[in-house]
Chains A and B, each alone.
Chain A
Amino acid sequence: MAKALINLKINDIPITVEEGTTILDAAKKLNIKIPTLCDHPDLSVAGNCRVCVVEVKGARYLQAACATPVAEGMEIYTNSQTVRQSRKHVIELLLSEHNADCTSCSRNSKCELQDLAAEYHIFDRVLLDILDPENLIADISSPAIKKDISKCIHCQRCVRTCEELQYVSALAVIGKGAEQHIGTFFDYPLNEVVCTNCGQCVLHCPTGALTERNYVEEVWDAINDPTKHVVVQTAPAVRVAIGEELGFAYGTRVTGKMVTALKRLGFDSVLDTDFTADLTILEEGTELLTRLKRALVDKDPEVKIPMFTSCSPGWIKFMEHLYPEMLGHLSTCKSPQQMFGAVAKTYYAQKKGINSKDMIVVSVMPCTAKKYEAQRPEMRSSGYQDVDYVLTTRELATMIKQAGIDFMSLPESDYDPLMGESSGAGVIFGATGGVMEAALRTAYEIVTGREVPFKNLEITPVRGFDGIKEATIKIEGTKPEWSFLEGVELKVAVAHELANANKLVRAIKEGKLHYHFIEIMTCPGGCLGGGGQPYPVSWEIRQMRAQGIYSEDENLPLRKSHDNPEVMQLYEEYLGQPNSHKAHELLHTHYFPRKKYLN
């Protein structure tokens, strides 16, 4: 049923909009900008910062444009004297409780509060400084996220993100009155509470209150240390987002320029996480087929079906905390980042004749949880910490700027050999559904000897941004050794955002849904919407990055993981077969049940 239409005027300009439209959205249609802070397109409406207040003729009080639906005959003024005065006061009040030492803030020049202060010319600070000095000590207990409440403007975007997108609620509003603040369970440090380190709070924070733990200086030190051989790996989703920080439009593919920039920064070898994404597919695909065989042929009651993917470290920690009894359903495969570290400090080191202890592995990830993952004690298969430093997309952009590189004009170059080759299947790991699609491209072909029956290998049912996606693929014409799968309808599901993952896991736990294989990504849209990606974020931006990723896949000569020659070489020369003993040593891991309400 069509919604009723509402006629109103904004700044004397008539407009007709659908019933239920907010004043903010109606104004947008007229290209009238109303400033916002607590509002975010990913989140529920809060209406608490009050910077978007507007005057509604006849109303005693100003109305929050983000929270007020239009009404017939409304006359709205977005720039009246009262509105201007109120807005300036709101901004100044926020500054008065804010540690406005902008030059020492990592959000300097990328801060929504700073932008508003500049726009509204809050030059003469009239009000008193009421920042509590106790708040000046930041929480750096987590290896992934820094929480500095002296920068907090109480907009609660992080709280809503953690609850609504991720179903974690590590962060909550604590106390009331002058004591009110954003905190954790009993205000324990972040590393002691149930936090998945996903960094969505960081991505949704308008200021520098929540930021990634920054490792830029450590990486510069490593690069400049002549005794170290420093290799860098770049995750699939970085190549379609880093351009945004360096002058390109949202979602632009800048793979070749990024590789050139990394070489100019001084890395000894520029390699690709996509390589280990392909490797993951071979390991995980084999693991899935083995599990299916054990379930279908051996009738092994111990085998856990469905099997969940394990690439996304936020998801892993989520499961360890909230569903410890279901850890057996997780694939034992390490994430591509950690496979890379383990292979780099063993196979690569051997081939290059370098001592592992003299190697530094740096990752560039769209992710903050990867910083945590790299430091997990079990991630030392090489005998050393397999991945030394993890940078976000944003941190790499910072390094490129610091180095004075004009990114726009850079020539393109290719990744270095040994661990730099990748297929389109590896690239699409960066989008929700990508791991599933890559796995199906390979598994189907292993089992049947034929390509997966989708046009141009595009398994469209698992693409797109629906929170939970499902597909069923009937396996027909199997090779003799896979005949137990003949006629089996392989049921798969894909979820992104932990809140969606939670719904799926719960339904499975309760026996309401049944699948064989499930891909979960922690962040909205998958890694392309990761907590380490450039600001800002919205579904439009995620969509453009997804287009970038899928066109990269389309344009690569290799589209299937098992076609990756370097991966095959790795098996031949070093690992043997997928899921071999050696592969298990280096490429697989185990998980730890954690407490439900404390780390």
Chain B
Amino acid sequence: MQEQNELIKILVEKHGRTRNALMPILQDIVAEKQFLEPSDIALVAEELDLSAADVYGTATFYTFLDTVPRGKNVIRVCKTISCYMSGKDEIINALEKVLNIKVGDTTVDKQFTLLTANCMGWCHKGPVMLINDDVYHSLTPEAAIEIVQQYKEKSKN
């Protein structure tokens, strides 16, 4: 709680107290902890003198401003047309298997959340996925599993 308050106070100082600062503040919180909790939104609302419902409504408009708990690594597999044509379903199946979760879920150890998302701008190199901000394109199921394994390794070290 203390840490969270400090993070938000720092971000408010950095971006300012106007409504125009809202998106950068929310984005930076998500970059730090992957999702927005009620207490985060309440605090940001208080600092910016906005209604908490209004801030919540704003956050829920944006796919990347998650308001439900997410794992440390958020995987988003593109499901739009080109990636659909180039086999996103196989990628999703492979990831569900290796992570032992379904799309929308988070692993028990809170390391991974598996999601689908709309077009990410790699239509010539599908299937594609984002892990946090990093892009992995031209995926095969094997490659996708390999990439996730690397993240698992990283988190162990």
Contact = CB atoms under 8 A, between A and B. Distances in A.
Nearest to B36: A186
Interface string A159-180: 0000100001111111110000
B57 A173 contact: yes
B57 A597 contact: no
A172 B41 CA distance: 14
Interface in B8-33: none
A596 B44 CA distance: 12
Contact of A186 (B46, B51, B54, B67): B67
Interface string B59-81: 01100000100000000000000
Task: Please report whether the interface of chain B is mostly helix, strand, loop or mixed according to DSSP.
Answer: helix
Interface in A166-213: 168-176, 183-186, 193-194
Contact of B53 (A170, A176, A596): A170
Contacts of B57: 172-174, 183
A31 B108 CA distance: 65
B60 A598 contact: no
B68 to A, nearest CB: 10
Interface residues of A, number: 19
Contacts of B46: 596-597
A163 B67 contact: no
Contacts of A170: 51, 53
A185 B53 contact: yes
A194 B53 CA distance: 9
B38 interface: yes
Given A174-B60, A175-B61, A176-B60, A169 B53 contact: yes
A595 to B, nearest CB: 8
Nearest to B46: A596
A186 B38 contact: yes
A170 B61 CA distance: 17
A169 B38 CA distance: 16
B45 interface: yes
B53 A171 contact: yes
Interface residues of B, number: 15
A46 to B, nearest CB: 15
Contacts of A175: 60-61
Task: Please report whether the interface of chain A is mostly helix, strand, loop or mixed according to DSSP.
Answer: loop
B61 A186 contact: no
Contacts of A184: 53
Given A172-B56, A174-B57, A186-B56, A163 B51 contact: yes
Nearest to A193: B53
A193 B54 CA distance: 12
Contact of A598 (B50, B52, B61, B67): B52
B145 interface: no
B7 interface: no
Nearest to A176: B61
Given A597-B45, A598-B42, A185 B61 contact: no
Interface in B53-107: 53-54, 56-57, 60-61, 67
Given A596-B46, A597-B42, A597-B45, A185 B52 contact: yes
Interface in A281-325: none
Q: Shortest 10 CB-CB distances between A and B: which pairs?
A: A169-B51, A172-B57, A597-B52, A597-B42, A172-B53, A185-B53, A185-B52, A169-B54, A175-B60, A174-B57
Given A172-B53, A173-B57, A597-B52, 15 more contacts: A169-B51, A172-B54, A172-B57, A175-B61, A176-B60, A183-B53, A183-B57, A185-B56, A186-B38, A193-B53, A194-B51, A194-B52, A597-B42, A598-B42, A598-B52
Interface of B: 38, 41-42, 45-46, 50-54, 56-57, 60-61, 67
17 contacts: A170-B51, A172-B51, A172-B53, A172-B54, A174-B56, A174-B57, A174-B60, A175-B61, A176-B61, A183-B53, A185-B41, A185-B42, A185-B56, A597-B45, A597-B46, A597-B51, A598-B52
